[in-house]
Structure 1
Amino acid sequence: MSANGGTKAIIAALLANVGIAITKFIAYLLTGSSSMLAESIHSVADSGNQGLLLLGGKRAKRAATPQHPFGYGRERYIYAFIVSIVLFTVGGLFALYEAYHKWSHKEGITEWQWVPVTVLVVAIVMESFSLRTAVKESNLVRGNQSWVRFVRRAKAPELPVVLLEDIGALLGLVFALFGVTMTLITGNGRWDAAGTAMIGVLLVVIAIVLAIETKSLLLGEGAETHDVAEIEKAVTNGPEVERIIHMKTLYLGPEELMVAAKIGVPRCESAEELAQGINAVEARIRAAVPAARVIYLEPDIYRADAAERGGNGSAATGQPTPDEVAGRPGS
């Protein structure tokens, strides 16, 4: 659902930004307004960003290979991170440079004065429809999370990226409209430069937020607390497992979660009985958390005396390995 919704929001934003970029650039050529130029580049950058998100989504669907046995799901994170860099450089820094340049050339808008205001108002309407689509698609997967938590914790990067881009675009249009309107009223082009600078600062802030969040996804995030609880419940909710010795989770992609756990099992009469028990536990995990597609369970015999001596209770060693010390003990 999140992938389809993300694609729909990206396409809506792409169509809106291509049309808006063309009209803004025509308005800049007619008026020479720096705010219009900054907004033109902003829309061009946004259009390129949406193209990158679509490309990342397509490449992430490639089948796993021996060199990449867990597939290419993280390509979506890589392209989202590239988007943040493009937004920072092409969008934010260019706008700040243009504002600096315009501040020393404070001529007002003397020709086609009605064009920039008309273009900006129309662009605000078009961008509002794009944001409406992004909000609607995000609500399908957001649940009861706040918008801030959704942006910070979403594993699929496309919807948060499009949301922040659309919000930034709308605010940027308002800033541009402010700068242009004040320039037309006062005849002082520095108001235009001020509007351009506000656009630049806004884009830099949004780019930094996106970079921080996508960097976290690239480094690798584990399952949310409620999903971890569901997995633990699924593991121990049967006679096959006595307890979880330790467990780790990792998102291999937006919709693919890996679960690795060492589990304490009762003594079995045969390897076949043990294998059947592990298969039953895996089935319960997948039923509880469908995103848990890659599951590795290591059976062991839990020993209370080893745990009391400071170990992890594993009968195999009696003392925890460094990797096990870093793991989270089960309940």
Structure 2
Amino acid sequence: MQQHHDRQRNGTSRAVRFESFGGPESLTVQDVPEPHAGAGQIRIRVAAAGLNPMDWFMTSDAKTAARFGLSLPCGFGTDYAGVVDEVGADASGYAVGDRVFGTAVSRAVADFVVVDADGTIADGVAHHTPDGVDDRTAATLSIAGSTAAAALAVLGLGPDDTVLVGGAGGGVGVFAVQLARIAGARVIGTGSPSTADHLRALGAEAVAYGDGLADRVRDLAAGPVTAALDLHGTDTVHAARELGVPDSRICTVAGMVDGVPAVSGASAGPAALDDIARLVAAGRLRVPIAATYRVEDIRAAVELQADRHVRGKVVIDL
């Protein structure tokens, strides 16, 4: 804490940065000039930042980074939660002391983030954190929650549906499974045998992925599968087609298949994240947090998250 005050006196703050794109070994914690809110902006003192696969994918090499408009030196991480501590001129809807969560693409793992008060998920945005939602949990909601909400909006699930969710145990799957269950649908989730208990705890019936998936789902479902969501690639899409699911009721996130809708977090409706936060506050949706790390241990945190077998979210404490 004393080091934080010393940095503020010196006009600097901490931020995780890349000086060259690459894997976790390229990440460093640096002292950078402390940012401030300009006109129409708010500054957030970050308490926690949640990690997503997109964070390390976007910055894995210079060519990929350029596709997302990133250049060096570059920050890291997208999801954050904290407290508003500066409000710029003409920025409405926020006051100093407000608890918020949101996105700051490739700059969230830092002491401070600055976003437009009327921003978007793609450019940087803040949502009010409801009472009853702690900062670590709030820091996991934005990208995974909005992506799941966007996918379910495409599928339009209800009590008469049985939905197959591929990659159900991952970060987006945690939200997709629970939101589908809240909508009344029956959920069959794919994963490795070791994730079966995790999937059942979320409300899904577990089935192993891999060759023969359609046959295993057919045996488990004992009836029609009416919708499918592929969160990992395209294998679930092909299994869903074998099961007779029409393309209009299949959705992808991490893969592209001709004729099948694809979504990202930016596709979510404007109220989606606020609705998800309220569900968390009400105890109707839970977010498993697999591990928390100090910002100084960012490389270890990213290595765990990038393994893609972590059950729940990885959070950085600031």
Structure holding more strand per residue: 2
Structure holding more helix per residue: 1
Larger Rg, first or second structure (1 or 2)? 1
TM-score exceeds 0.5? no
TM-score (normalised: structure 1): 0.24
TM-score (normalised: structure 2): 0.25
